[in-house]
Amino acid sequence: MSLLRFASPLLSAGILALSASMALAQDKKPIVIGAAIARTGFIAAYDADPARAAEMAVKEINAAGGVLGRPLKIVYADTKSEIPQGAIAATEVLDQGADLIIVTGDFDFGGTAARTANAQGKIAIAPFAADPKFGVEGIGPFAFSFSTASDTVGTVLAEFAASKGWKTAYALTQTNIQYDLSVSRAFQARFKELNGNAALVGTDTFSMDDATIATHITRIKALNPQPDVLLLSTFTPAGPGALRQLRAAGLQMPILSGEDMDGDYWLKSVPNLSNFYFAAMGSIFGDDPRPDVNKFIAGFKALHGNHPSTAHTLTGYSVVQAIKIAAERAGSINSDAIKAAFEKFKDEKLLVGPTSFDAKTHINFMRPMVVMQVQDGKHSAVSLHTPQKIPGR
């Protein structure tokens, strides 16, 4: 039975017009987004959910008529989690007609693909590359990251610690990737700005190749008094191992981490974890302070049967949102036009949060982040925190 039979003439006309616009969009040449990302190898676990989120956005936008009257289409090429393969994957999607490309959300693993696109005058977007060098400075003028900068993560953690009344801190930093080093540097700088230079009572480093952090723990336990809070700037799998050792040694002070410790996929390896906090782009557990994020998480879960692995997933959806906004404002998908439109973004409302770019800065610094906590082995959102001041900016 047709519902149009019982609809008002105005409603019927509206439905028919929408159907016609959708059909028209599908008949036109698609706008092609090339995804030069990891489909295999260890990086694939990080790229997979943002790609799924991008596909969700494409489906929704196409259902509403597309962009500039044209459907969106994503084509893929596998970087195989190999840095040199990024250039090959970028070339493959460009050969498939990509108008712009999405790359792995990391300066190193996404950089080769992004540079290849830039060399051909094509926009390259990293959904979650947090290194501020991903952009004009380290890639080229057509490179943008929709992540929140690593400096912001460290700042948010320091300001959150100050809001809790934690006056002294110890920073333990994993040295394998630039992200963790940047988070730690920003945390240390901002914590000292807020509490004085003497407030940072010690620093230490470790590598994922270290079998234990026993000597580091010994140095922390020798401090008298003990620090109010510990920064553990790390990523998995080394992070959970370090957490286990710290707690097993009787160090029960609050521990702070960056968004590389987001998600619950590692949590069973640290049973009954409490007093653990990290900054993330959002909560994947349905309790984000922002209703639109919770709505997206519910939709993702309904479609895929589980919540996203991390909140980086929000950036995949946001990239496609931004492409639509920029193309429609520019009236074109031309790279120069999209670049100019992106650089006019000022607190643009995207799923991941307010997004701003300018001619020199192609990553976000002053975007709010959600501080998450783990208590008795369970995650929950604590607060949405906008950084007050980024050290050095």
- 350's CB contacts (< 8 A; 6+ apart) are 146, 318, 321, 322
Q: What integer pLDDT is reported at residue 25 of this predicted model?
A: 53
Q: How far apart are CA 202 and CA 191, in angstroms?
A: 12
Q: How far apart are CA 184 and CA 276, in angstroms?
A: 16
Q: How far apart are CA 311 and CA 265, in angstroms?
A: 13
Task: Say how many CA atoms lie within 13 Å of 278 toward its Cβ.
Answer: 26
Query: Could you tell me whether strands 276-280 and 369-375 are parallel, antiparallel, or unpaired per DSSP bridges?
Result: antiparallel
Two structure tokens written together for 250: 């009787």
Residue type, 236: T
Helix (H, G, I), strand (E, B) or coil at 57: helix
Q: Would you give the DSSP letter of residue 265?
A: T
Let me know whether 206 and 341 are in one domain: no
Q: What integer pLDDT is reported at residue 393 of this predicted model?
A: 85
User: Domain holding 157: CATH number?
Assistant: 3.40.50.2300
* Contact predicate 126/90, CB 8 Å: no
* Contact predicate 251/220, CB 8 Å: yes
Q: What integer pLDDT is reported at residue 121 of this predicted model?
A: 98
Which helix (H) or strand (E) segment holds residue 280: the answer is strand 276-280
Q: Does residue 360 fall inside a structural domain?
A: no
Residue 345's nearest CA partner among 144, 192, 161 is 144
Let me know whether 143 and 155 are in one domain: no
Q: What integer pLDDT is reported at residue 29 of this predicted model?
A: 96
Let me know whether 29 and 65 are in one domain: yes
Let me know whether 376 and 229 are in one domain: yes
pTM: 0.90
Q: What integer pLDDT is reported at residue 272 of this predicted model?
A: 95
Which residues lie across from 144 on neighbouring strands? 125
Place of tokens 């770019």: 357
Q: How far apart are CA 47 and CA 35, in angstroms?
A: 10
Q: Does residue 301 fall inside a structural domain?
A: yes
Q: What integer pLDDT is reported at residue 226 of this predicted model?
A: 97
Residue 117's nearest CA partner among 133, 147, 93, 83 is 93
Q: 218-234: string of b/e by CB count within 10 Å (b at 16+)?
A: eebeeeeeebbbbbbbb
Let me know whether 141 and 160 are in one domain: no
Q: Does residue 287 fall inside a structural domain?
A: no
Number of domains in the chain: 2
Place of tokens 């002053």: 366
Q: What is the pLDDT along the chain (393 residues), one digit of tens a residue?
A: 333 333 444 444 444 444 444 454 556 899 999 999 999 998 998 999 999 999 999 999 999 999 999 999 999 999 999 999 999 999 999 999 999 999 999 999 999 999 999 999 999 999 999 999 999 999 999 999 999 999 999 999 999 999 999 999 999 999 988 889 999 999 999 999 999 999 999 999 999 888 899 999 999 999 999 999 999 999 888 999 999 999 999 999 999 999 999 999 999 999 999 999 999 999 999 999 999 999 999 999 999 999 999 999 999 999 999 999 999 999 999 999 999 999 999 999 999 999 999 999 999 999 999 999 999 999 999 999 999 999 988
Q: How far apart are CA 140 and CA 125, in angstroms?
A: 11
Let me know whether 212 and 298 are in one domain: no
Q: Residue 205 to residues 179, 184, 233, 248, 262: CA-CA distances in angstroms?
A: 14, 10, 9, 19, 21
Domain span at 226: 151-280+369-385
Q: 248-282: string of b/e by CB count within 10 Å (b at 16+)?
A: eeebebbbbbbbbbbbeebbeebeebeebbbbbbb
Q: What integer pLDDT is reported at residue 5 of this predicted model?
A: 31
